[in-house]
């Protein structure tokens, strides 16, 4: 059972950016992120360790569990794709 | 400020390196602290916070011993040769050393998966009854899973993507095969020891203070820690748990400092001492 309901997907995107900011230390850059901002391959700090840290923090913050077969390059392609992934997990 | 002393102790698995921080000369000694580090890369990421806390504690009159476990840091042995049981042996040795050297049973201050080792140390019969846990890992199984995930994530970064799964990696370990992950050669003995470890209350009872760090706007205790609180209290432990606001310093890309955690820990030590 979810503790809260997201009314708009922009809330999820904002929370996702916060998590990315926390793990990667984006600073000012985070303020410029939109749903179409590319992630994997475009952010040098986003290495495999950071990918796992982001997933772990999302799991702990939102309360879902990510299975191995859900981990794909597509999920991490943009802020929007990651937010959509989180929303699908919450649905 | 007194600089920490680097020392070597003959441990059960080889020479152990440790840093010993004494209180400033003339400061009344309040007791001793044995630090148990986090696992693998988390140990590296938490070094600065550990050093800052060590200084804060020693300024208050505490002896603080920070050992490197076998196969890590400057202690003897290779990571590939370490075992979970071996690490508990190392801690038992360091526990005796600081108790003998300082004249008092240490408070055991553990970080992340170190909390699992600390719990095992008490279960084995260590005399300390005071524990300080930073962002404790409640389930060794989950912690191992997250570590194995690094290899899966590594596959994502490559052209064509990897199709290794954490389940397959775990099977390999159970079959006696070591695995290389993020530069660490993980032995089956270490992995499976971690996998079986849980934050279960030892039967002897005592006091434990836990602090978590959360970056959420409204920081709240994690559900695993809430469950642990109930289990430990039911087993007769005095269990205090709190959460402070800050970054997940054990896993951020940049090394982060969390002043709120230093303050909260100082207060928790005062409470542990008082009872």
Summarised one tens digit per residue, pLDDT across range B99-134 is 999 999 999 999 999 999 999 999 999 999 999 999
Whether chain B has a CB inside 8 Å of the CB on A82: the answer is: no
Rounded distance between C-alpha atoms, residue B1 and residue A86, angstroms = 48
Contacts of A68 in chain B (CB under 8 A): 149, 152, 165-167
- Say if residue B8's pLDDT is above 60: yes
What does the pLDDT read at residue B45? 94
CA distance A56 to chain B (A): 7
Q: Which residues pair with B238 in a beta bridge?
A: B207
Whether chain B has a CB inside 8 Å of the CB on A79: the answer is: no
**Residue pair B93/B12 in contact by the 8 Å Cβ criterion:** yes
Contacts of B166 in chain A (CB under 8 A): 68
Rounded distance between C-alpha atoms, residue A18 and residue A45, angstroms = 15
Pairing of strands B62-67, B31-36: parallel
Q: What is the mean pLDDT of residues B261-274?
A: 94
Token pair belonging to B186: 């993980």
Rounded distance between C-alpha atoms, residue A41 and residue B53, angstroms = 37
Say which DSSP state A71 is in.
-
**Cβ B156–A76 below 8 Å, yes or no?**
yes
Rounded distance between C-alpha atoms, residue B6 and residue B107, angstroms = 20
Which residue, among B102, B109, B98, has the nearest Cα to B131 in the 3D structure? B109
Please tell me whether residue A82 adopts helix, strand or coil conformation: helix
Q: Which residue has the tokens 């050992």?
A: B67
What does the pLDDT read at residue B182? 87
Q: What is the mean pLDDT of residues B175-202?
A: 96
- Say if residue A9's pLDDT is above 70: no
End-to-end CA distance of chain B: 29
Rounded distance between C-alpha atoms, residue B11 and residue B108, angstroms = 18
- Band the pLDDT of B85: cuts 50, 70, 90: very high
**Cβ B251–A76 below 8 Å, yes or no?**
no
Rounded distance between C-alpha atoms, residue B186 and residue B177, angstroms = 9
- Band the pLDDT of A2: cuts 50, 70, 90: very low
What does the pLDDT read at residue B128? 95
CA distance B13 to chain A (A): 30
Q: What is the mean pLDDT of residues B184-199?
A: 96
**Cβ B153–A52 below 8 Å, yes or no?**
yes
Contacts of A62 in chain B (CB under 8 A): none
Token pair belonging to B136: 């404790």
Whether chain B has a CB inside 8 Å of the CB on A73: the answer is: yes
CA distance A85 to chain B (A): 16
What does the pLDDT read at residue A27? 85
- Most distant CA atoms of chain A, gap in Å: 36
What is the count of residue pairs from A and B with beta carbons less than 8 Å apart? 68
Rounded distance between C-alpha atoms, residue B143 and residue B108, angstroms = 21
What does the pLDDT read at residue B97? 97
């Amino acid at each position: 059972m979810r503790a809260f309901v997201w009314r708009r997907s922009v809330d999820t995107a904002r929370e996702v950016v916060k998590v990315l900011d926390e793990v990667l230390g984006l600073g000012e850059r985070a303020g410029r992120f939109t749903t179409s901002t590319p992630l994997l391959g475009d952010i040098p700090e986003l290495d495999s360790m950071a990918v796992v840290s982001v997933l772990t923090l999302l799991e702990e913050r939102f309360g879902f569990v990510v299975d191995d077969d859900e981990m794909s390059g597509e999920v991490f392609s943009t802020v929007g794709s990651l937010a959509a992934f989180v929303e699908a997990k919450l649905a | 400020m007194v600089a920490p002393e680097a020392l070597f102790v003959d441990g059960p698995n080889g020479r152990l390196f440790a840093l010993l921080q004494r209180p400033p000369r003339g400061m009344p000694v309040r007791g001793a602290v044995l630090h148990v580090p986090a696992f693998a890369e988390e140990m590296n990421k938490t070094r600065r916070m550990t050093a800052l806390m060590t200084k804060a504690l020693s300024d208050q009159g505490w002896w603080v011993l920070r050992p490197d476990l076998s196969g890590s840091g400057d202690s003897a042995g290779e990571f590939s040769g370490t075992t979970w049981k071996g690490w508990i042996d190392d801690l038992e040795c360091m526990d005796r050393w600081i108790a003998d050297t300082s004249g008092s049973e240490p408070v055991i201050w553990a970080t992340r998966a170190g909390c699992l080792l600390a719990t095992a140390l008490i279960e084995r019969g260590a005399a300390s009854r005071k524990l300080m846990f930073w962002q404790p890992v409640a389930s060794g199984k989950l912690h191992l899973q997250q570590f194995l995930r690094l290899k899966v994530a590594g596959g994502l970064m490559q052209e064509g993507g990897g199709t290794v799964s954490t389940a397959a990696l775990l099977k390999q370990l159970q079959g006696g095969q070591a695995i290389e992950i993020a530069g660490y050669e993980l032995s089956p003995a270490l992995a499976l020891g971690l996998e079986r470890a849980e934050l279960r209350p030892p039967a002897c009872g005592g006091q434990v203070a836990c602090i978590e760090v959360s970056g959420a706007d409204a920081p709240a205790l994690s559900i695993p820690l809430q469950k642990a609180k109930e289990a430990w209290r039911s087993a007769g432990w005095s269990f205090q748990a709190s959460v402070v606001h800050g970054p997940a310093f054990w896993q951020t890309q940049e090394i982060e400092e969390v002043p709120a955690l230093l303050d909260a820990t100082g207060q928790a030590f005062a409470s542990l001492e008082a009872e």
